[in-house]
């Protein structure tokens, strides 16, 4: 009878050990995920703290400018019309001339 109690106790201990091992593996995987997320958030924080980001937000979202600069706001819908106009003109151009524009940056027309 004593042997049966010892075997049952050992089996319970083995079961608890396996559960604990599984939980440790799950927590290790979760820790790796959180470490990766922390690295991403730290990089994002550094970017948001940068002067580049500050100037980008000031210019694009707040329409601010430096002294001597002028802010130009183009109404919605105008840009697609301009792109379509340029596209039509480009399609009428011979291929060699389109390549020339690309290679010279539009210089020497």
Domain of residue 96, residue span: 74-109
- Indicate the pLDDT class of residue 96, thresholds 50, 70 and 90: confident
Decide if 82 is inside a domain: yes
Decide if 4 is inside a domain: no
Decide if 5 is inside a domain: no
DSSP string, 18-51: HHHHHHHHHHHHHHHHHHHHHHHHHHHHHHHHSH
Read off the pLDDT of residues 17-62 as tens digits, 9 standing for 90 and up: 988 999 999 999 999 999 999 999 999 999 999 999 998 888 888 8
Q: What is the pLDDT of residue 83?
A: 57
Split into its structural domains, the chain has a count of 1
Decide if 100 is inside a domain: yes
Q: What is the pTM of this model?
A: 0.46
How far is residue 33's CA from residue 26's CA, in Å, rounded to a whole number?
11
Decide if 99 is inside a domain: yes
Decide if 109 is inside a domain: yes
Decide if 7 is inside a domain: no
């Amino acid at each position: 009878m004593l042997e049966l109690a010892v075997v049952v106790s050992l089996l319970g201990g083995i079961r608890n050990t396996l559960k604990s091992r599984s939980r440790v593996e799950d927590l290790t995987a979760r820790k790796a995920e959180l470490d990766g997320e922390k690295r991403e958030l730290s990089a994002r924080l550094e970017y948001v703290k940068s002067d580049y980001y500050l100037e980008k937000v000031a210019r694009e979202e707040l329409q601010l400018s430096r002294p001597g600069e002028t802010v130009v706001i183009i109404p919605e819908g105008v840009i697609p019309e301009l792109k379509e106009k340029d596209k039509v003109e480009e399609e009428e151009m011979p291929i060699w001339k389109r390549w020339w524009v690309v290679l010279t940056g539009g210089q020497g027309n």
